[in-house]
Structure 1
Amino acid sequence: MNNNRMDSRYLNENQIRQELNKDRVEAKLVVLEAVGYPIESTFIESPDIKVTNKELFEIYAKEQWNGYRIHKHQYIFDQKILPDFAFRIVEVRPDNSIITNNTSFLVLPTENKLKTASVNRKYKIDDIVGQKKAKSKTRIITRYLKDPQKFKGWAPKNILFYGLPGTGKTMLAQALANELDVPIMMIKATLLIGDHVGDGANQIHELYKQARKTKPCVIFIDEIDAIALERKYQSLRGDVTEIVNALLTEMGGIEDNESVITICATNNPEMLDYAVRSRFEEEIEFTLPDVDERREIFLNYMKTLPLDCRFDLENVVLKTNKLSGRDIKEKILKTALHRAISEDKDFISDDDINYALIECHKEVKITSDTMFT
């Protein structure tokens, strides 16, 4: 009787095992496409994935995904080197199968996609403190984009914003697009320098192709000096001739760029290649804020600080001469705030502000002393 029970239990376990393994089809090949992080983050940028050693990647993939049942178009997530980074399953053979030690992996190379920045839709031109001359000239662009047929060949198409870092060049470009409720395509010129010849030029042409599809549109290229240095400085950046030629072609208007405004920004206009600089109909300078503008900048930022402000505003306004709006926020107020929090205070005091001023002056001194060593 006991033997029969043992035999019966053995048969039941065997049947269960057979049932579990019946649909356990082994995945022979998995083709993956790198997608990125599921949530956009200010702090984490999705990297370009390039597998240089297929054997090592297969070991890595099997170690974390062994036993996964997968199907076509499913997403699987890395939990090792790039936690929560997503891969999409482009193909799996056979479909609805299980990853085992015998599975082979293939990761498709990421396309050289144009990376453009997201836009802050909160502020308008009048929200920017100071830069009266720059804002006045920008009104010309707004009138043109509102009625391009009226201005036609008299409209500004290519504009250069220049001035010290943190003076509001990017902010004004965004505000211009917000004011007109038109798309703005923002890109840093450094991202146009690809690994292969032709990458940058192709991105330039793709940028303008997209702009023509969505016109009226504003193109904003930041740090233009990264690709458009005068020839005597070219060795600092390497050969980017093909990128410059593509940019000159597009700015020259060989294609129909009506209602497409190009704004480029630089901190060093005197270093730009003459051929590029001559394409700009307008050059708009951005200056450091004066004492009244610095006071207004402080007051605007103080409204959003999470701690009370109990410091001498007029004193700090006088001591921040030659600092930009961004410096006031990042180097003075943020540093003072962090010090106050670290000392477990409910307010920002003069001591915190003075500490920030000393740290800021140290940074400026180090930068100026080491720039040409």
Structure 2
Amino acid sequence: MKQNNITPDPIVSEKKTSTGIEDTGKEAKMVVLQSIGYPFLCNLVENPKIEIFDNELFELYAREQWIGYKVEEGSFLFDQKLLPDFAFKVIKTHPDNSRITKNTSILLMEVEEVREVKKIESNLKMTDVIGQERAKTKCKIITRYLQEPESFQEWAPKNVLFHGTPGTGKTMLAKSLSNELQVPLFLVKATSLIGEHVGDGARQIHDLFDAAAACAPAVIFIDEIDAIGLDRRYQSLRGDVSEVVNALLTEMDGINSNLGVVTIGATNNPQLLDYALRSRFEEEIEFVLPDEEERRAILEMYVKSMPLPVAADVKKLVSLSKGMSGRDIKDRLLKVALHKAISEDQDVVTWDNFLYALKHHEKEKNEPKDMFA
């Protein structure tokens, strides 16, 4: 078990400055905990489930005994008051390797909740997103806001909608924004916000925004938002998700300030979104299919990393990939052709392999599909 790097009495280990202010190094803005139970009693007793009915009271209780403790993701904290040696695992802390102070927000979440609000790590850069220059230009306002949120106030671009053909880089751009600005990214699928019981979905929405606000500046990226935000005309298709949508609208309306938090919704079908939800987005950014030069750049980038050399003219591949997204070029053209060559014990990927991949792709496109699947 990974032990927490602390002294038995954290207050004794604190350093004092000449002004008397505690010098604890980096301050933990947020700590997300998961209850583990009694690790030293193994199976001798049943580990109780912790339910928090007042989050503010739990934070006060937790900070009182753990203030000054140094925490890092994967370490453990032990409750030595109400439940002797009851363990909590640190699922997330921002920044990592920091100390709990009187200002630290401490959240207790179940395993499935933690999974939904876990920060996504990425090393993507803006230059990795080929094309989409108009989208990148529009994202400058998001960049500026996350760099200096206090100066924007009511002018903040808090809710932005990414829309366009699948595979055109919506998620990649969000990841690159987060990485280049070094701000946390909370990426969730809209369908994962629908709980099994009444109240589950709304609680997940509020926990998600609480987690982001606690370590702001931060980005929340809700993929496939149309899965819960379909127009009411499609009520029979979307099911009873009004609770989730209402909770999302409440957060997007800014009932809580959520300073320094940008919510990005992504959809392939913006015209199907409910008006009440779509109207909350102050900015809509469209992602388009790559043009000829952009397809050339995408092909050249991916071909370099393929495990077999390509014995085909890139110019021909540019023409062959017309109408494809960046993801289609990688997964439907290059990957299928590569796998075909390997399955036939070839040493290179040939033009015939690419023609096979294109034929396979066209067949998939022409198969009837449920647009709401």
Is TM (by shorter chain) over 0.5?
yes
SS in 2 for 1:314: helix
User: Partners of 1:295 and 1:351 in 2: how far apart?
Assistant: 19
1:156 and 2:154 aligned: no
* Equivalent residue letter for 2:358: L
Shift of 1:152: 2.0
**C-alpha distance in 2 between matches for 1:311 and 1:166:** 24
1:28-56 CA distance string (max 9 Å, x none): 9774799xxxxxxxxxxxxxxxxxxxxxx
Specify whether residues 222 and 33 from structure 1 end up closer, same or farther in structure 2 by C-alpha distance, changes over 3 A only: farther
**Residues 211, 217 of structure 1: 8 Å contact kept:** yes
Counterpart residue number, 1:335: 336
Equivalence map 1:340-355=2 (5 Å): 340-355=341-356
Q: Is the 8 A contact 1:160 1:283 kept in 2?
A: yes
The within-5 A match list for 1:1-373 is 31=46, 112-114=112-114, 115-116=116-117, 119-367=120-368
SS of alignment partner, residue 281 of structure 2 = coil
Report deviation, 1:119: 3.0
Normalising by structure 2, report the TM-score: 0.69
CA RMSD, Structure 1 to Structure 2 (Å): 2.4
Output the CA distance in 2 between the equivalents of 1:310 and 1:28.
61
Q: Distance in 1 between matches of 2:368 and 2:361?
A: 11
User: Structure 1, unaligned stretches of length 5 or more?
Assistant: 1-26, 35-71, 74-109
The answer to whether the 8 A contact 1:117-1:187 is kept is no
Equivalents in 1 of 2:201, 2:352: separation in Å? 49
Structure 2: runs of 5+ lacking an equivalent: 1-41, 50-84, 87-109
Partner of 1:113, secondary structure, is: helix
1:125: how far off? 1.3
Task: Return closer, same or farther for 1:306/1:33 CA change in 2, 3 Å cut-off.
Answer: farther
Percentage identity across paired residues of the two chains: 55
**Cα gap change, 1:178/1:111 in structure 2, threshold over 3 Å: closer, same or farther?**
closer
- 1:364 deviates by 0.6
Distance 1:279 1:352 in 2: 47
State the match for 2:56 in structure 1.
none
Taking structure 1 as reference, are residues 296 and 28 closer, same or farther at Cα in structure 2, changes over 3 Å only?
A: closer
Aligned match of 1:103: none
- Given residue 200 of structure 1, which amino acid in structure 2 is its aligned partner? G
1:110-149 deviation digits (Å, cap 9, x = unpaired): 7542424663522211221010110000111101111122
Distance 1:112 1:199, change over 3 A: farther
Paired AA for residue 113 in structure 1: E
**Corresponding residue number in structure 2 for 1:81:** none
Structure 1's 169 and 243: CA in aligned 2 closer, same or farther, altered over 3 A?
A: same
Give the TM-score taking structure 1 as reference length. Answer: 0.69
Give the number of the structure whose residues are more often helix, by fraction. 1
- Quote the Cα distance in structure 2 between the aligned partners of 1:298 and 1:191: 34
Name the aligned partner's letter for residue 263 of structure 1: I
